[in-house]
């Protein structure tokens, strides 16, 4: 867009912002309703793609209105969140796979107490949950914070429309972050804390060193 097309229009940025905001909010709402662990993680990926699109929309908008530094910040936030999402979502999916192999379950309602049965996987899954919930000092916080910083660069804009749209997009990002954190508090609490709610879960064992190494690397 920036190099091949040349000049960009701020209306394109607004369109991408709106798509990103709707995608992020819809993804996290669907994630909160899931009881299947892998399906919940998949809907969470939709949410994070929306966050990436918010950063891209901010970048296009600012560059189109001759605010190159703010545009670079938005693009950096989007690219950084792509990298961070690959890391923490890869970790969470590997953790979900380890849980599925050890318990033969992906239904959260059938889990519980896995922190005692699978302490290594539980610790690494907790790191993934803290990252995706955008809590400091983990990587998910760093890239979402950069996106917020880009959205706060509105005072330099002359367009009244943009001064309204961008803060609304930032508010949606804040709401999405809060709902996402709530969803993963629920996931960890149901799956790893409390007592096991099925025979398979009560007889679960920690996965092989190779599977633990894969999670640990991420």
* CB atoms near residue 109 (< 10 Å): 12
pLDDT at 167: 85
User: Is the pLDDT at 208 greater than 70, yes or no?
Assistant: yes
pLDDT in tens, 136-177: 889 989 999 999 888 887 766 676 677 788 888 889 989 999
pLDDT in tens, 23-70: 999 999 999 998 888 999 999 999 999 999 999 999 998 888 888 888
Are residues 175 and 94 in contact, defined by beta-carbon separation less than 8 angstroms?
no
Q: Where are the alpha helices (DSSP H) in the chain?
A: 10-32, 37-64, 68-103, 114-117, 119-132, 139-151, 160-192, 199-202, 209-217
pLDDT at 161: 75
Instruction: Give, in order, the Cα–Cα distances in Å from 53 to each of 16, 45, 75, 199.
Output: 6, 12, 10, 43
**What does the pLDDT average to over 123-141?**
91
């Amino acid at each position: 867009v920036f190099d091949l097309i040349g000049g960009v229009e701020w209306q394109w940025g607004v369109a991408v912002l709106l798509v990103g905001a709707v995608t992020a909010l819809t993804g996290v709402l669907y994630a909160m309703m899931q009881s299947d662990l892998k399906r919940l993680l998949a809907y969470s990926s939709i949410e994070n793609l929306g966050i990436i699109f918010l950063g891209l929309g901010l970048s296009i908008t600012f560059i189109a209105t001759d605010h190159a530094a703010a545009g670079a910040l938005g693009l950096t936030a989007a690219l950084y969140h792509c990298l961070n999402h690959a890391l923490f979502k890869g970790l969470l999916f590997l953790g979900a796979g380890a849980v599925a192999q050890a318990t033969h379950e992906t239904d959260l309602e059938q889990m519980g107490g896995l922190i005692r049965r699978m302490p290594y996987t539980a610790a690494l899954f907790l790191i993934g949950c803290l990252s995706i919930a955008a809590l400091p000092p983990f990587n998910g916080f760093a890239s979402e914070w950069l996106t917020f910083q880009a959205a706060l660069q509105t005072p330099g804009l002359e367009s009244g429309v943009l001064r309204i749209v961008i803060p609304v997009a930032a508010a949606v990002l804040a709401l999405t972050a809060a709902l996402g954190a709530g969803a993963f508090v629920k996931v960890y609490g149901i799956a790893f804390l409390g007592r096991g709610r099925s025979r398979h879960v009560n007889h679960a064992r920690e996965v092989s060193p190779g599977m633990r190494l894969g999670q640990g690397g991420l």
